Amino acid sequence: MNENHENQADTQDIMEDVSEIRGQGYTERYVLSLERLRQIKEEESVEEPFRAYFRKMASFALRLAETSGKIEDGSWHGLSLKEMQEWNHELYADILPEHYSQSYADPAYAVSALGEEFGALLSALYTELRGGIAYAFEARPDYLTILNELLIEAYNRFEGGMPEYKEIRDIIYWYASDYCDVFVADRVEEQLYPMQSFAADVILCADLADERYLYRFGEYITENELGTARYLNSLPWHTVKKMADVYTEGYRVGFINTGKDLSKKSVVDIRYPLGFERMVKLAMENFEKMGLAPVIYRTPGSVVMKRRRGKAGYYGTSPNRQYEYDHRQDEALFMDKRYIERKLDVLKHVYEENKAQAAQYAGPAVIETFGEKPFSPEVKKEAYTLAENQRSLSLLYDRKSAQITNQYIRQEERSFTIIAFPVPEIGEKYPEIFDDIIRINTLDAKLYETVQQKLIDALDQGEFVHVLGKGDNVTDIKIRLCALQDPEKETIFENCVADVNIPVGEVFTSPVLEGTQGVLHVGRVYLNGLQYQNLKLEFHDGRITDYTCTNFENEEDNRKYISDNVLNNHPTLPLGEFAIGTNTTAYVAGRKYQIEEKLPILIAEKTGPHFAVGDTCYSWSEDVRVYNPDGKEIVAKDNSVSILRKEDVGKAYFQCHTDITVPYEELGEISVVTKEGKRIILLKEGRFVLPGTEVLNTPLDAG
């Protein structure tokens, strides 16, 4: 227990010894909590409109208990597909777009129904309770007990009159602070110990031809998951095997190409969207042959562990992306310095206790999807947003937690791979698109290696690269390049040939910040699940100095949108990467099916020049020596920010890396300028013109 609880005695009902929760002592508390929730549904001791709110919350919590009971006694498996679908829909119905505007989960509605003082707070509480869906399907009554007691404690404060706002806020604060012992510890252990993998058990034991297995995960299931599973089941075994082989071989080769010893590792972190279980099962068999056992954990839903950017783990389709956006910063309700320090202390302690197992972690193997309708959120004044001091604390946590993690899971000893496929939401040509993506993911790497070396040979002569847009695209930026000391043995750009980043098709470098300046503009782009219209960034000495877009009528909203989601609350970010994408086959496929804006960055970055803001591609492993296939060592891995790691690692990294691609059709010219002022043109009007690279235009001509 936290020693600062002298004046928090009234929160003791929910703040019992966490060791009891992690053991078996929760059973009696769980039964008592359910009885109290049943009473709440009938009592009238709380005034309206709060009585209606708490009755709805109690009903929801009891439904989760019923769900958990069906999982534990095995009766869930006796339900028909239709019954499972109805159950799944009921659990998520309240936050679906058609119901959201009348849901307490919507901060705007909650404020209108419950008042400005408590509306947003109780909306955040409801969102936390909704995280219990996962605990119900994992048969975790210990975690459900924690949530039940959180709700009951808040309810008790409303009995007999209106409480102070601070009372309810403090209940949530101490819930997050005290139980981070449980949440952080369990999360870290889920990432390290294969025997704790609930999802792996489902994949290995379920009949993957029976669609009911998808509802065992507890995620929201849509036609994306069902359609993906059906399509993979319709493919010949050897096709799915090829998909799995490309994925796992990219992982293995990633270790080889970076000189890392995979034989020292025993754990692979599989992250994927539901529906791909047939491919994942074959991948698990491949990894087993490499001596790797899988950890497959759920993307977290609790405010204590929720990621502010992207998803890590397995997940289903979002029931409502506006709901997720509205609650992305609910930590603002309680975040302070003491909470952040406590969370970091717990993280450090858990890793120290599990340091031997942490050393076995080889890194993530990621499957991504694309094809969802582009999403541009509504900005709601009622939703919680981090205050300026909380933004600083959030960045402090990101920085310190990354340092702790890297201390026990060393970046220079691990690797990764990423591959992407479409989901049925992409449209009626989903099967054709899927087949084309399989083809793109298995292109001839040797051909690209040879052609890309021609580009690198030209780029290695340069002092800077000049990128110009055309038409409405006002991109005009000069990227300064690292100076080579020994051109016979050194190179500036990495020749990327489909190991960790599948598919093939780029050459990339870490630019010199000083002297890198100009404007980067793209008409429409999709970054980390969010759409940007006319995104424009200005750089001076390699750092962002100004930014805007046209998503919203209010310029302040446009800037905040970029600040929150591209700059990730940093006042500025450096240009961590410059690359030239060469995968014209992927570009043509995007144009053919009119899905350019839906392509994931993994593929989109290969379809034109791209610029990454944040950390370099080599963050945390700059001192690992890396070589191109021609034997030359890649020396452009640091910049004047990342090199600060030698003095103060806290100043070197930003824990973000966001790629922004200028598509070929918006591209006027890419040229290399040498010290002597000679200009070598690589691309002109969206076509490759450097001798030896013309073969890349073949898909453009055929398309």
Confirm if 299 and 326 have CB atoms less than 8 A apart.
no
The answer to whether residue 497 is domain-embedded is yes
Which pLDDT belongs to residue 24?
56
Domain with 75 in it = 9-176
Residue 217: closest CA among 284, 276, 288, 150: 276
Q: What is the pLDDT of residue 1?
A: 36
pLDDT, tens digit, for every residue of 372-404? Answer: 988 889 999 999 999 999 999 999 999 999 999
Q: Is the predicted pLDDT of residue 9 greater than 50, yes or no? A: no
Q: Can you tell me the distance from the alpha carbon of 135 to that of 119, in angstroms, rounded to the nearest whole number? A: 26
Residues 260 and 267: their CA atoms lie apart, in Å, by 15
Q: Are residues 172 and 230 in the same domain?
A: no
Q: Is residue 571 assigned to a domain?
A: yes
In angstroms, the CA 133 to CA 220 distance is 10
Q: Is residue 492, in this structure, part of any structural domain at all?
A: yes
Identify the pLDDT of residue 664. 86
Q: Residues 208-226: what's their mean pLDDT?
A: 97
SS (H, E, C) 196-211: HCHHHHHHHHCCCCCH
Structural domain includes residue 424 = no
Number of domains observed in the structure of the chain:
3
| End position of a domain, from candidates 128, 145, 176 | 176
Q: What is the pLDDT of residues 74-115, one digit of tens each?
A: 999 999 999 999 999 999 999 999 999 999 999 999 999 999
What are the tens digits of pLDDT across the range 403-415?
999 999 998 899 9
| 410 conformational bin, left if phi > 0, alpha if psi -120 to 50, beta if neither | beta
Final residue of a domain: which of 383, 418, 453? 418
Q: Are residues 600 and 676 in the same domain?
A: yes
Q: What 3-state DSSP class applies to 289?
A: helix
- Separation CA 434–CA 421 (nearest Å): 7
* pLDDT at position 435: 95
Q: Which residue has the higher pLDDT, 180 or 229?
A: 229
The residue behind tokens 């609910």 is: 330
Instruction: Report pLDDT for 12.
Output: 39
Q: Indicate if 489 and 399 belong to the same structural domain.
A: no
Instruction: Yes or no: say if 494 and 621 are a contact pair by the CB < 8 Å rule.
Output: no
144 and 238 in a single domain? The answer is no
pLDDT (mean) for 181-199: 91
Q: Which residue has the higher pLDDT, 357 or 648?
A: 357
Distance CA 453, CA 459 (A): 10
Select from 615, 571, 634, 195 the least CA-distant residue to 406: 615
Clarify whether residues 414 and 541 are in a common domain: no
- Interior/surface letters 116-136, b for 16+ CB within 10 angstroms, e for the rest: eebbbbbbbbbbbbbbbbbbb
Per-residue pLDDT, 14 = 35
pLDDT at 124 exceeding the cut of 80: yes
Rg, C-alpha atoms of the chain: 26
Q: Which residue has the tokens 């705007």?
A: 108
Question: Are 557 and 675 members of one domain?
Answer: yes
Higher-confidence residue: 9 or 159? 159
Element (H, E) at 368: strand 361-370
* Sign of the C-alpha dihedral computed for residues 268, 271, 272 and 274 taken in this order: positive
Query: Which pLDDT does position 703 carry in this prediction?
Result: 65
DSSP classification of residue 44: -
Instruction: Please indicate, yes or no, if residue 327 is contained in any of the structural domains.
Output: yes
Residue 186: inside a domain: no
Judgement on whether residues 535 and 414 belong to the same structural domain of the protein: no
**Inside any domain, residue 185:** no
> According to the model, what pLDDT value does residue 16 have?
45
Q: Are residues 74 and 18 in the same domain?
A: yes
Kindly report the average pLDDT of the chain as a whole number.
92
More confident call, 655 vs 644:
644
User: Residue 668: is its pLDDT beyond 50?
Assistant: yes
**So what's the pLDDT on residue 655?**
87
Q: Are residues 334 and 268 in the same domain?
A: yes
pLDDT in tens, 603-618: 988 888 999 999 998 9
User: Residue 533 pairs with which residues in a beta bridge?
Assistant: 524
Contacts of 502 (CB under 8 A, 6+ apart): 246, 247, 250, 417, 418, 419, 420, 441, 602
Residues 614 and 689 reside in one and the same domain = yes
Q: 274 with 202, same domain?
A: yes
pLDDT band at 2 (very low <50, low <70, confident <90, very high): very low
Task: Note whether residue 430 is domain-resident.
Answer: no
φ, ψ dihedrals at 400, nearest 5°: -70, -40
Q: What percent of the chain has pLDDT over 70?
A: 96
pLDDT at residue 675 tops 90: yes
Q: What pairing do the DSSP bridges indicate for beta strands 543-548 and 530-540?
A: antiparallel
Question: What is the Cα–Cα distance from 643 to 649, expressed in whole angstroms?
Answer: 9
Backbone angles phi, psi at 429, to 5 degrees: -95, 25
- 401 and 477 belong to one structural domain: no
| Residue 19 pLDDT greater than 50, yes or no | no
Bridge partners of 535? Answer: 522
The pLDDT assigned to 451 comes to 95
